[in-house]
Each structure stands twice: as structure tokens, then as C-alpha cells.
Structure 1
Amino acid sequence: MSKRRKKGPSHTPKAKDRHWHGFRQDARAAKASERTGTPTTGPRSKTAASTTTRSSGRPAGARRAGGAEAPELVMGRNPVVEALRAAVPGSALYVMSEADDRIREAIKIAGDRNIPLLQAGKAELDRLTDGAVHQGIALQVRPYRYAHPDDLLRRGATPLIVAADGITDPRNLGAIVRSAAAFGAGGVVVPERRAAGVTAGTWKASAGTLAGVPVAQCTNLARQLKSYQEAGCFVAGLDARGGVTVADLELASGPFVLVVGSEGKGLGRLVSETCDMLATIPMPGHAESLNAGVATGIALYEIARRRAS
């Protein structure tokens, strides 16, 4: 294996050598007057805590050495079948008996995908699920192995990366990954803390595209964005306070990082200050805001259209 180089691939020039480096400085100075208003991504919708998934012996989002999350369990007949239909990667299917058609369907899908089938009694399933309602079936989800943030720079001749700042809903993260796959982004980077990781819900919302679009974790998103800038990427954050629309992001044709904020607070202060520019999505209709997944899809469509031309 080649040795990892901190500042990205050799085909991507340093920021100071790109024609837009001076423009970046002007954009940063102009941002000082753009600090009023509301974030582009709207308030997070209220969702009840899910009872169909549970991490195995660790807090939600806990990671093992090597960058993988702890195993997760999806339990209950309908949730397990839905997860298997959505190609959520399972490592084992625990069943008490072939009680009904849904359990038989789960067993068939698991068999087709070579997921080990394990017979388990009620006491064992109660122990595995910490006493939660499991209806005699549980799917153990394979731990997700995150990419290194620098790896995303190597996906394609002209990097396009999505950075998610504090997205707390795994389904929103899955929607972002799905949009990244649809519009040619090389991957998604998320913070390790106070943000959603890859769960069964993320897999389902991504409609299986997580298999082809890597998600990377970083310890500090603002610091990682600076690293991308040093590697030659222009960084733009989605925010209603932006001075340019997403359709007018001329520099998106080069190495580019799109930053989307959290559902409730938008971009964090340090992340916003690190961005080279803030961009907005015009909304002539009656809606006051968009959630992070929808906003990312619209922005990536405009970026893909500009890069194609």
C-alpha cells in the first residue's frame, strides 16, 4: 500500500496555486456582513426514539478500534424484513421459529444473501435485546467501517465531497448519502461526536447507496475542512445568509467541498467561519426552510449541472 499523504493527491494543486485563491480571501472578508438570518436547513422534526434498533452492549454510535461501530440489532418482524429488503448488511439473523410469513420471508432473504441463520430461544433473544420487544426475531447489523477523510480526495480526478456538520438524524444522513451517489460526489465526511453515524436507519434511507459511497469520520470538522482547503479544495457552506445562490457557485467545477448544517442549528460557528463562501437556496414558495437531506440534494444537483457543462 502507498503511504498516506496528509495533503491529498498530487493532481490536486495547493490552494495558493489555484486561480481563485485571491477570490477566496475576498469571500472571507465579505462573510462578515452575512452573519444575520436563519439557517438554510430547517428545524429538526420531532421523532420518537426508535425501539427497533439497539447497539450490542455499547452506547449508540460507539466505535471499536479500527474505525468500526459496535454491532447493532434490528428487532421485530416488520423492521427486520424492511431492513433485509433494503439490503442492510447483516452478520446474523436470530429467530425463535418460523411463526408467520414475515419471519419466513426474512429467513429466505437472509439465506439468499448468505447471512447466517441462528436458532435462538426466548431467553437468549431477551438477553441479546436487553429485554426489548423482539417478536421472536432479530437481525445483527454488520459494524460499519468508516473511510479516512483523506481517502475521499482520491475518488475521481476532481474531488467532490459533502461534509455534514452535526446531522443528528441517521435517516437524514442516509438521504445525504443517496444524493451524493446520485450526483457523483466521492463521499461524505461527518464528525465523530454529536452527529449521526451509519446505522441500520442510515442504510435504509440511503436505499443501498452506502455500498458505493464511503462515509468518513473526523475528530474536528473545521480542522478537516482546513485540510481539504490546503489540498486545493474550495469549501462552500449551505446557509440562508449566503451571498450567492447554489446555482451560481462557479468554483464548484473544480475540487469542491459542500458543507450542510444540522437540522436545528445550521452550520456551527467555527465551521461557518472556515468555509470560503456561504451559499443559499432561493425559496420563492411558502416554505421557510428545508431539512438537511433535501437541501443537500438540491445543491448537489446544481453543482452536478455546472460540472457537467
Structure 2
Amino acid sequence: MQGGRGSGRASTGQVRLWGHHAVEAALMNPERSHRKLWATREAIAGLAGELPEGFTVEYAQAADLARLVTRDTPHQGLVLECAPLEETGLDEVLNSADGQVIVVLDQVTDPHNVGAILRSAAAFGAAAIVTQDRHAPPESGVVAKSASGALEVVPWVRVVNLARAMEQMAEAGYWRIGLTGDAETTLGDALPTGPVALVLGAEGDGMRQNIAGHCDALARLPIGDAIESLNVSNAAAIALYAVATRGN
């Protein structure tokens, strides 16, 4: 079998995805251009729908597939090589969002966290996640596996200037709420009735001062004293739930 162990960025410029949900969602996404699928026969049988006619499949044993992915990765018998998704512009999202929440990530670099946030964003109907291109992980198998299929359905907007992107959101009528444990106001009290952009900072360091300065309000989650803070993906999930259930 060709191809070595890696994070999910193939040397050919393609992206390598693995895991049942991530691969199945990518195969069902008409926006994806697929190159090749390595799989066990059992895993192929468990996929929803049918593969396109003439699709390249190389059958292999699970141990062979393990050489194509990151170490100790549960590939579940499926490894797909495909082209990266086309970039989505912020203008496109703002024009079609219809008031759906937007998640802004300031230098969140862990691909597992970004993937988990994508999954929560899909679960709670977010319009998109927005990251600064230079300080976010690339699209990869690790992100896709953690997202469990959400990479294919939630637009991921990469921008050069995150502060400017937040200004565009304000111009489009979004109320920008930055989450920080130092805020006096809780998220529930800070939520308006209109469109919301949730802004979350990097693991450990939190939001940069400039990004916090571009927020309309800063808020905290009402966690107890037993723990200092939450993982950024957990905080995002709770905040998205709060937005989805406000007023209920």
C-alpha cells in the first residue's frame, strides 16, 4: 500500500480522512472531489448509499490501513483521499445565515478541539465557524474524525484579519459576545434577542486583547469553583446550547 502515516494532509495536496462518520459524510458530499478509498470489506458494507460507478477502492486489512493514518487512530476500516473543500467567504455566510449563530475562534489551534466545535456547531444549527487562517489547523483527517461528519455540513471560513471579520459581522447585525472567565456578566444575561457571534479564545491564553476589544460584550459561563475553566470545545458546546434555548 502506498502512503505513509500522517495527520491527514497527503503530500499530493489532497486530504486524507478516516473513520465511518467522516468518510461517509465526505462521500455523500457533492462538493467533494474524491480520489481513492482504502477500506475493509466489512466497513464498505456498512456505508450508507452506494459508491459512484468506477470509484477507486483498494481493499485492505485493518492493520494495513493503520499505516495510512496517525498512530493509534480508530480508522474503523475506512481511509479516504480527497480534495480539500472549496473555501467559503464570510460575505457568503452573512448573506445566507438568516440569523443563525456564528462561532469565531481566536487562535484555537488544536485540531481535536476545532473538530469537536464543528460537531457542536452542526448540532445546534450554527451558520459557520470563522478562524484566522494563520492561527488555525488545516483541514485534515484529525479535524474530520473529531467533527464526526460535521466538516462536510458546517462552513469553515478562514480570514486574514479576524478583527475585520468581526466588524463585518457587526455591520450585518450580529452582537459579538466574547467568552472569558474574567467577565462579571454570565452568558445568559448577555444574550440579546437578535443574531449572535460567539467568540472563543485559544486554549489556555484566551482571546487576544484586540479581539476582546472587538466584542460588544464579554461573558462567562456560570461554572462552579471546583474547576477553574472548561476545555474550549466544551465551552463552545454549552454556549451554543444557551443560544439555541434562549427565551425557552
TM-score, scaled relative to structure 2: 0.77
Unaligned runs of 5+ in 1: 1-50, 59-69, 75-79, 96-101
Q: What do the CA deviations read for 1:45-64 (whole angstroms, capped 9, x no partner)?
A: xxxxxx44342337xxxxxx
Give the residue type in structure 2 aligned to 1:290. Answer: L
Alignment of 1:141-152 (within 5 A): 141-152=82-93
**Do 1:159 and 1:254's aligned partners in 2 also have CA atoms closer than 8 Å?**
no
| Structure 1 residues 257 and 119, CA gap change in structure 2 (3 angstroms) | closer
**In the alignment, is the contact (CA less than 8 A) between 1:249 and 1:303 conserved in 2?**
no
- Work out which of the residue numbers 104, 118, 123 in structure 2 matches 1:177: 118
Q: Please say which structure displays the higher CA radius of gyration.
A: 1
In structure 2, relative to structure 1, the CA distance for the partners of 1:54 and 1:284 (3 Å cut) is: closer
Once the two structures are superposed, residues 210-265 of structure 1 have per-residue CA deviations (whole angstroms, 9 ceiling, x without a partner) of 333211111111111011112221111111121310111232x2122110111131
Matches of 2:6 and 2:45, distance apart in 1:
21
> Runs of 4+ in structure 1 displaced over 6 angstroms?
none
Q: 1:1-309 alignment to 2 at 5 Å?
A: 51-57=5-11, 70-74=13-17, 80=18, 83-86=19-22, 87=24, 89=26, 91-93=34-36, 103-108=40-45, 112-114=49-51, 116-119=55-58, 139-251=80-192, 253-306=193-246, 308-309=247-248
**Residues 152 and 161, structure 1, Cα contact 8 Å, conserved in 2:** no
Name the residue aligned to 1:4: none
Give the whole-Å Cα distance in 1 for the aligned partners of 2:87 and 2:149: 16
Contact preservation (8 Å) 2:37, 2:57: yes
**What is the aligned residue count?**
228
Normalising by structure 1, we get a TM-score of 0.63
Quote how far apart the aligned CAs of 1:107 are: 4.4
Label 1:103 to 1:279 Cα distance change in 2 as closer, same or farther (>3 A).
same
Higher relative contact order (CA 8 A, sep 6+): 1
Quote the RMSD (CA, aligned, Å): 3.4
Amino acid at match of 1:161: I
* C-alpha separation in 2, matches of 1:141 and 1:244: 45
